[in-house]
Amino acid sequence: MTRHSAPIYLDHNAGAPMRASVRETMIAALNDAGNASSVHGHGRKARGRIEKAREKVARLCRAKTMAVTFVSGGTEANMTALTPSWQDQGAPVYLDKLFRSAVEHPSVVTGGRFAVVDQVVLPVDSNGRVLLDRLADALANAEPSLVSVMAANNETGVVQPLAEIGALVHEHGHYFHVDAVQAAGRMDIDLAQWQADVITLSAHKLGGPQGIGAIVVRSTAKVPAPLMVGGGQENWRRGGTENVAAISGFGKAAEEALEEASDTSHLSGMKARLEKGLRSACPATVIFGETAERLANTCCFALAGIPAETALIAFDLENLSVSSGSACSSGKVSVSHVLTAMGVDEDLARCALRISMGWDTGDADIDRFLEIWPKIVDRLNPEARHRAA
């Protein structure tokens, strides 16, 4: 088998290609000297770049500028947010437990700074959405705790009912964290509507650089205890000299992603054509979360009898990059905890593939995928291709 000449990238949920404008913005910052904490001209220029980026990231999620704290990425952001120690109106608060959904990203599944015995897993339905009645029961008699639910799932693209969850959380006097890493730039983000006390972001999902993320709070008077302490950087919320170039790139990516988030019809159209093509080629194809609201860019599907690990190799030989699920779960293919929580049979879950599109995806990329996939199925398991739904 020979590689197709033009590489195709359909794995934006793992990390989007860097935008050209982001690269230019970062190069300009890299060409300047200066520590943003210095009072001289070079330092003030670096500080200006950071604050300009802070404004753009705040705008992306309808937050106040000073509510944004830059960190090293989504994992550090989640580790910072997932803490029992908070400050509320200047007074220390200690949260009793962490309630998190069964389909969270691995960086949330670990529980952050909560002890294992203080973590409670919330069940989900067959689409991976939190069961609101079970959440209400869990919170009704609990001491003030933290609830963590992602905005949109990184594997299936399923969107959680965040406004309803937020209302329940605050009705019972708890705190609410939303991992918005996959949602940013792909759907509307509104901390007030969600009643989220804190959300977390990562730049490289938006076409920004890797290694930079943000914590965004609804109120600067209600914040999690810092994870990284040291100097007074980031308003004493995250110690360490700021990565000016990466922060600048994050700001530029946020600016462009906000414009794209206002109209995702092109992505929705490509996803609809992709899923129609999948079913046309293989009627027995299962699309996970199909009956729930999903991100416009994400399709997670499986065809029984076509193991994901084998299919990934076949796609790679065709110079086409897709995923079997979360890229943060190591380099090997294993059964997805997300699909397991949704009640998917283990054998079918091992066949799950994820297509995630983004700012640089075009119709020709989907056409190429739909050309390659039936050939791969015919090679690996011809009977699967003609199995009835």
d(CA 389, CA 387): 7
**Residue 128 near residue 81, CB atoms below 8 Å:** no
CB atoms within 10 A of CB 328: 12
328 among known catalytic residues: yes
Report the alpha-carbon distance of residue 114 to residue 79 in Å, rounded.
Answer: 10
Counting Cα atoms < 13 Å in the Cβ hemisphere of 317 gives 12
Catalytic position from the list 61, 300, 328, 351: 328
Distance CA 232, CA 293 (A): 42
- Give CA separation, 139 vs 173, 256, 339, 382, in Å: 9, 38, 25, 50
Cβ-proximal residues to 117 (8 Å cutoff; 6+ apart), any chain: none
Q: Please give the positions annotated as active site.
A: 328
